[in-house]
Structure 1
Amino acid sequence: MTQLNFNINFEELTEAILKSDMNSMMKSLAVLVMNAYMEAERDEHIKANQYERNEERKDSRNGYYSRGYTISIGKLHLNVPRTRSGEFSTHLFNRYQRMDQALVLSMTEAVINGVSTRKVTNIVEQLCGEMVSKSFVSTIMKRLNPEIEAFQQRSLTGHTYRYIYVDAMYIKVREDHQIVSKAVYIAQGINEDNRREIIGFKVATSESKETWSSFFKELRERGLTTPKMLISDAHTGLRAAVKEVFVGTVWQRCTVHFLRNILNVFPKKDAKEARELLKNIFRSRTTQEAKDNKETFEAYVKDNGKYDKALRILDDGFFDSIQYVNEPEAYHISLRTTNSLERLNREIRRREKAISIFPNSASAVRLIGAVLLDINEKWQSNQNTFLKDYISPLMETK
């Protein structure tokens, strides 16, 4: 059969169209190209060009329907091809990334469930056209759900993870006609190739010892071996779960959270020098240097009763906060905080703001999973390692 050929990279062109600020003439060109692209898709589906008869033909043309498609340059009016069987579906409208599909789906579910706001409705219209239907939701769910589930349940036996970072963030979910707060658990590992991986996530009712233990045990069931170090904040339930599930793992308290806890009880005035001395403790390169810096801070504030509570907090968490000094010095900056997870949280928050309240827990899992899956894939394709130029020191310590 005669092929309809275009000497155009449609993915690059579509991306350029979506990102460009074009005038009316260029919008007309976009319509022309997109219509031609969908026509070629239908020819490929039918296995025959227009008016062509052959034994491979599997369907017949059935005209077009008009569809408005809103992108960054404005609304385009396209002619979408149809077939007699109704089995043909263009892939043109699926060009947006997986995480954006999940975002659209979450907002669309909200619209269908009657909890939409004007803001949400407008965003849905901009991203997927004016028609919001349950069939649209079903189509995207069928495509996204297996991907997210496979990512969430994949085996971890292919790698060993020396360092694990864990954190929890909170989201709002509509449940039983009420708005409730739920915890999102996220675990990031550093594998033997010195690359970051998102090894697990979970949406749970609350943050407690039981739910943290359950999350860790699920990671173990998927093949996670005992890590050398786990980095997190000082949530009581989390610490108890680490002791229960990861026997022998060193716990590194996030120094950013710890420092914030201490500074919260500092006097409001004339504390600049004390602040710098305190920060020096968590910049130490050895245990002895940390002890010396701690003594310097204590000597500076010992005669001021306003620092008594800060001194008690520092004593209680000091050794847990300096476990990083026992690892190669090149890794100290990365190991003493959960900053890398904070960046993940911000990526999730950025998309969550468009929804505000998830229509259900499944929607939250889908959107968060899509965001994390896309980020994880980018990490794996990136040539830079998590600790950049510090892979040699890590290999030397094995």
Structure 2
Amino acid sequence: MPLESTQVRTTVADPRTPKLKRLNDRILSLYARGMSVRDIRSHLARIYGVEVSPDLISKVTDAVIDELVTWQNRPLDPVWPIIYIDALWVKIRSGSVASKPVYLAVGVDMDGRKDILGLWVGSEGEGAITWMAVLSELRNRGIEDVCIVACDGLKGLPDAVTATRPKATVQTCVIHLTRASLRLSSSKDHPKLVPALKAIYTAPTEAAAEQALDQFAASDLGERYPAIVRTWRSAWPEFTPYLAFPPAIRTVVYSTNMVESINARLRKATRNRGHIPSEQAALKVLYLAVREQINPKAGDKNHVAAHWKEALNQFSLFFEDRLTIQ
């Protein structure tokens, strides 16, 4: 009997069900890790001696769409110390192939664990209206307060946060700001540039940081790279809140390795496919990648910082009564 027919007619009582479930799980896992349909067929034939059709792979992966909708609309905790918002670009065919941003929100909960709160496909050039819709959706799913919203150069986001969550602090990602500076300079100057920039973002006060930036701007290095000075000055309103944070909160905000590791895996899930046929297919691919790597209640492996309790204590003091400790 062809495998497709077996898959359709299988019932719970069928003794072949566990075997087929393992096959389905294997297909989903390979799909989530960035393998194309052709690669999955080749892998299953080579490793397991099983021939499957492209149609069967589509049926197996389409079966998670309802799960994706449930996940995208699930209730969320009311209070989050920090939410990171970032974007990755995916090639989607909609008439013609175009790169579209997929926005993701990654929250850090009261236990210091990470969780991807949602994925949204956008269009290039979107601004505050789009972000207000995303932030409103998160509010409707139960989020009542966020202490810090960390992001990097997403057009319209700071204004949208201010409009919908006036108590939230919008914070530019310091690592992204530093890396943007390094991209604007020659690698031979990096040994001198790195400590000059570190003097800015490790300054004890905003006044000291501004003095360090002025000194850099007046130096030979600053005169050689005026675009770096301009980058820091333009980001200054969203960078300076970082300087008011106590050390443990600075550590959590500065270290974006968690978000970057998630982004790297999501990019891997889409890169090998060249382009994706629709926005829904893009979300399906990315959701499977999310499901493969994130379990918000999985224990220590999802912790953001080794000393989260220290950071949480500083959050509760710095943001006063806004955190409800359970």
Name the TM-score, length of structure 1 as normaliser.
Answer: 0.66
Q: What is the aligned counterpart of 1:153 among 73, 77, 91?
A: 73
The answer as to whether partners of 1:164 and 1:230 remain within 8 angstroms in 2 is: yes
- Using the aligned pairs only, state the percent identity: 22
Secondary structure of the corresponding residue to residue 392 of structure 1: helix
| Partners of 2:211 and 2:33 in 1: CA distance | 53
Secondary structure of the corresponding residue to residue 367 of structure 1: helix
Q: What is the aligned counterpart of 2:19 among 69, 86, 92?
A: 92
The answer as to whether partners of 2:83 and 2:149 remain within 8 angstroms in 1 is: yes
Q: What is the aligned counterpart of 1:223 among 142, 145, 148?
A: 142
Structure 1 pair 289–355 and aligned structure 2 pair: CA distance change class (3 A): same
The match for 1:356 is 274
The match for 1:248 is 167
Note the alpha carbon deviations across 1:272-330, whole angstroms, 9 max, x for none: 4344212321233543543443344244349x743444333333323422322323312
Larger Rg: 1
Name the TM-score, length of structure 2 as normaliser.
Answer: 0.78
Structure 1 unaligned regions, length at least 5:
1-64, 68-81, 112-117
| Partners of 1:322 and 1:190 in 2: CA distance | 21
Cα distance, 1:233 vs. partner?
Answer: 0.6
Cα distance, 1:137 vs. partner?
Answer: 3.0
Cα distance, 1:198 vs. partner?
Answer: 1.2
| Partners of 1:99 and 1:206 in 2: CA distance | 35
| Partners of 2:111 and 2:32 in 1: CA distance | 35
More helix by share: 2
Q: Structure 1 residue 287 and structure 2 residue 214: aligned?
A: no
Q: Which has the higher contact order (CA 8 A, sep 6+)?
A: 2
The match for 2:123 is 205
Structure 1 pair 269–191 and aligned structure 2 pair: CA distance change class (3 A): closer
Q: Structure 1 residue 311 and structure 2 residue 232: aligned?
A: no
| Partners of 2:33 and 2:190 in 1: CA distance | 47
| Partners of 2:234 and 2:162 in 1: CA distance | 18
The match for 1:76 is none
Structure 1 pair 123–330 and aligned structure 2 pair: CA distance change class (3 A): same
Q: What is the aligned counterpart of 1:167 among 52, 77, 86?
A: 86
Instruction: Show the 5 A alignment for 1:58-97.
Output: 87=11, 88=14, 89-95=16-22
| Partners of 2:110 and 2:42 in 1: CA distance | 46
Secondary structure of the corresponding residue to residue 85 of structure 2: strand
- List 4+ stretches of structure 1 deviating above 6 A: 105-108
Secondary structure of the corresponding residue to residue 280 of structure 2: helix
Q: Give the AA of the match of 2:209.
A: A
The match for 1:73 is none
Q: Give the AA of the match of 1:148.
A: L
Say what the alpha-carbon RMSD is for the aligned residues.
3.6
| Partners of 1:371 and 1:318 in 2: CA distance | 35
Instruction: Show the 5 A alignment for 1:1-398.
Output: 87=11, 88=14, 89-95=16-22, 101=28, 104=31, 122-123=42-43, 125=45, 129-132=50-53, 134-135=55-56, 137-142=58-63, 144-156=64-76, 158-176=77-95, 178-206=96-124, 208-209=126-127, 210-266=129-185, 272-301=191-220, 305-336=223-254, 338-377=256-295, 379-383=296-300, 385-395=303-313, 397-398=315-316
182-191 or 256-265, larger mean C-alpha shift: 256-265
Structure 2 unaligned regions, length at least 5:
317-326
